[in-house]
Amino acid sequence: MRVLAAHSVVMHRTITATVSAEPQVVLDIVSDLSTYPEWLELVSSVDEAPSESDENGPAWFVTLRAKVGPFARSKRLRMVRTRTTDTGATFERHEVDRSDHSAWTMTSDVEEGPGGTVLSIGLTYDGKLFTGPLDAILDAATKDAGTKLSAYATR
């Protein structure tokens, strides 16, 4: 059981975008974490990480970066894919240093919509460093995801 400190805040943000590509194309992209730096500004880099024996698949080092004006903040996480279905994927933080870390979860779901493929990405963080002003930073780092993903999917 995970016990959070009293000062922790759970942040959950959902990004929804309509993408000009077939659902399977979008699903293939969002199921591959290495594509995220190409279309989601929040993810600045993704590198393969060593997998542990208790994992069922690959692991990645993901650098999240948000910038407002001259100020930037980065966080490097080790993430694994914990769900892959015919409609989406989930990636979760899974560090191997045996320390207690705040949870990060990124869930994507894809469905066919009237104007293209509808993508919903849920970002969840339960750490103590999330505060109200970070809402604006997160909004800025995710606002163009749909446009960038459409361009990436059709190149």
pLDDT value of position 92? 95
pLDDT value of position 102? 87
Domain boundaries, the chain: 11-153
Sign of CA dihedral 130, 104, 121, 71: positive
- What does the pLDDT look like over 108-141, one tens digit per residue? 999 999 889 999 999 888 876 655 666 666 777 7
pLDDT value of position 108? 95
Q: Would you mind telling me the total number of residues written for the chain in this entry? A: 155
Contact status, residue 132 vs residue 147, Cβ threshold 8 Å: no
Give the mean pLDDT of the chain.
Answer: 85
Q: Which helix (H) or strand (E) holds 30?
A: helix 23-30
pTM exceeding the 0.75 threshold for the entire prediction: yes
* CATH code for the domain defined by 11-153: 3.30.530.20
- The residues facing 18 across adjacent strands are 118
Question: Half-sphere exposure (CA, 13 Å, Cβ side) for 149?
Answer: 35
Mean pLDDT of 76-89: 94
Q: Residue 41: pLDDT band by 50, 70, 90 thresholds?
A: confident
Q: Residue 3: pLDDT band by 50, 70, 90 thresholds?
A: very low
- The residues facing 72 across adjacent strands are 67
142: closest CA among 118, 124, 121?
121
Is pLDDT above 90 for 2?
no
Residue 44 CA, chain-centre distance (Å), reads 11
pLDDT value of position 154? 86
- What does the pLDDT look like over 6-33, one tens digit per residue? 445 677 888 898 998 999 999 999 999 9
